């Protein structure tokens, strides 16, 4: 690290357990309750070693240029599309996220919304608050026996599949990757096959750019008349103007949406959407993972990754660099080298050790795309001359000494 103590900046109301874990590791932690825009972040990141954020703060190449001491970024959420991963890798910055911690919370929200829309509870609730007693079974159904279609059969999609089956639903799913079907769920070979059969359709895809505008006019038109639609994944994957048209036409009977292409920056800001004011439409402010349990788990998980990364060089489950964890040999010094993945680089690195009469006690290498990550324990004191030689290698992206 470039300074002592390690400086950490946490944004967007990250759970207090994260700060407690990092503070107990000897790190200096500053917490900010809101997201920062690019200009604000550029002003704040100088001297910061670890940056933690959620979904609203955008980490651009410009931000990274203003943070020469930054070695790690933690997305305290599932998605990492708010971070320029290529720019981070080029600068030797390791990125972590929390791919599992809020899965249950998102799934429970989806189940609640499916039941609420199927029973048309939103409309009954609005009428009751308006003083209207409308006791009627018209348009209300049980979820048992209905078909749930899941687009994206990852961590959330698979757990939703299991719980939906326990409610008596038939489950179909579509995913571009080969996935093992759980329980009695059945994979559809095409999106069209899924749309033609689902009474309830729910999206659980990731934030990769290729998913932009995944679901629009053509897809809504293929859905069954009277079906329900949910999106708890990413706002930019759906054409919401098309969804509004199909709801107003009566083709889609209801919708539940938790994510939007443009979301307000903070609590209390005005929310603008073409979906406001529609009957049997549930709108929630990106709270799929916003339970106290999920936020605590996320805080603990990513903070633990930060701690292990700084103290031991462990990168297990890193988003952008090889995931490694090597127990440190006793009485050794540890070096962490991020390098360009080119032939012969390790021979060059170990040649520097040999030239300086340094014996390698343990070494672990992993590569991922254009980059390699190597952890090396040596049995001798590290001289400034040797470290300078390693840093000067054309293949070196970043060298850390623990």
Task: Dump pLDDT digits (tens) for 3-21.
Answer: 579 999 999 999 999 999 9
pLDDT for 52 equals 98
- Per-residue pLDDT, averaged over 212-241, amounts to 96
What is the distance between the alpha carbons of residues 371 and 86, in angstroms, rounded to a whole number?
A: 11
Which of 255, 283, 311 is where one domain is finished? 283
Structural domains counted in the chain: 3
Rounded-to-10 torsion of CA 369, 213, 284, 317: -10
Reply yes or no on whether the pLDDT at 2 is more than 80.
no
341: CATH: 3.30.70.260
Q: Which residues carry out catalysis? A: 234, 263, 286
- Same domain as 297, residue 278: no
- Residue appearing with tokens 């659980």: 204
- Same domain as 205, residue 175: yes
- Same domain as 119, residue 82: no
Domain of residue 363, residue span: 322-402
What is the distance between the alpha carbons of residues 35 and 44, in angstroms, rounded to a whole number?
A: 12
- Same domain as 180, residue 328: no
DSSP 235: G
Burial of 266 (0-12, 13-18, 19+ CB in 10 A): exposed
What is the distance between the alpha carbons of residues 238 and 260, in angstroms, rounded to a whole number?
A: 9
Strands (E), 115-231: 147-151, 170-174, 186-187, 200-203, 227-231
Among the listed ranges 65-74, 161-170, 323-332, 346-355, which one has the minimum average pLDDT value?
323-332
- Residue appearing with tokens 């629009």: 216
The C-alpha angle 377, 378, 381, rounded to 5 degrees, equals: 130
- Same domain as 345, residue 253: no
* Six-digit token string for 76: 């305290």
- Same domain as 117, residue 74: no
- Write out the H or E segment, with its range, that includes residue 340: strand 333-340
- Same domain as 154, residue 63: no
What is the distance between the alpha carbons of residues 310 and 287, in angstroms, rounded to a whole number?
A: 31
Reply yes or no on whether the pLDDT at 37 is more than 80.
yes
What is the distance between the alpha carbons of residues 199 and 341, in angstroms, rounded to a whole number?
A: 49
- Same domain as 247, residue 179: yes
- Same domain as 242, residue 391: no
243: CATH: 3.40.50.720
- Same domain as 315, residue 175: no
- Same domain as 198, residue 114: yes
Which of 261, 283, 305 is where one domain is finished? 283
Quote the crossing angle between the two packed helices 292-312 and 16-24, to the nearest 10°. Answer: 20
- Per-residue pLDDT, averaged over 278-289, amounts to 94
Instruction: Tally Cβ neighbours within 10 Å of residue 164.
Output: 25
User: Between these two residues, 230 and 139, which has the higher pLDDT value?
Assistant: 230
């Amino acid at each position: 690290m470039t300074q002592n103590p390690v400086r950490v900046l946490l944004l967007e109301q990250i759970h207090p357990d994260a700060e407690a874990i990092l503070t107990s590791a000897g790190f200096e932690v500053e917490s900010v309750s809101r997201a920062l825009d690019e200009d604000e972040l550029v002003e704040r990141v100088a001297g910061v070693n670890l940056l933690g954020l959620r979904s609203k703060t955008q980490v651009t190449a410009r931000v990274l240029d203003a943070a020469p001491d930054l070695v790690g970024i933690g997305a305290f959420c599932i998605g990492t599309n708010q971070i320029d991963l290529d720019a981070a890798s080029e600068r030797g910055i390791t990125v972590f996220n929390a791919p599992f911690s809020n899965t249950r919370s998102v799934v429970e929200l989806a189940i609640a919304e499916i039941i609420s829309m199927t029973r048309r509870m939103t409309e009954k609730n609005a009428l009751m608050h308006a003083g209207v007693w409308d006791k009627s079974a018209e348009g209300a159904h049980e979820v048992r026996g209905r078909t749930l279609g899941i687009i994206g059969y990852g961590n959330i999609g698979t757990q939703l599949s299991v719980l939906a089956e326990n409610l008596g639903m038939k489950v179909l799913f579509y995913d571009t990757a080969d996935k093992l079907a759980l329980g009695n769920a059945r994979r559809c070979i095409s999106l069209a096959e899924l749309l033609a059969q689902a009474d309830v359709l729910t999206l659980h895809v990731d934030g990769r750019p290729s998913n932009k505008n995944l679901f629009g006019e053509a897809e809504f038109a293929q859905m069954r008349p009277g079906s329900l639609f949910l999106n708890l994944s990413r706002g930019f994957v759906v054409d919401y103007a098309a969804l509004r048209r199909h709801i107003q036409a009566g083709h889609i009977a209801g919708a539940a949406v938790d994510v939007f292409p443009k979301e307000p920056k903070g609590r209390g800001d005005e929310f603008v959407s073409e979906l406001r004011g529609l009957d049997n439409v549930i709108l929630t402010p990106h709270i799929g993972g916003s339970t106290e349990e999920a936020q605590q788990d996320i805080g603990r998980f990513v903070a633990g990754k930060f701690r292990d990364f700084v103290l031991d060089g462990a990168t297990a489950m890193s988003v952008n660099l090889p995931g490694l964890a090597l127990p440190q040999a006793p009485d050794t010094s540890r070096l962490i080298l991020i390098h360009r993945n080119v032939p012969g680089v390790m021979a060059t690195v170990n040649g520097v050790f040999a030239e300086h009469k340094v014996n390698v006690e343990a070494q672990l290498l992993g590569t991922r795309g254009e980059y390699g990550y190597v952890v090396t324990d040596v049995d001798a004191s590290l001289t400034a001359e040797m470290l300078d030689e390693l840093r000067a290698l054309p293949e070196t992206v970043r060298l850390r000494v623990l």
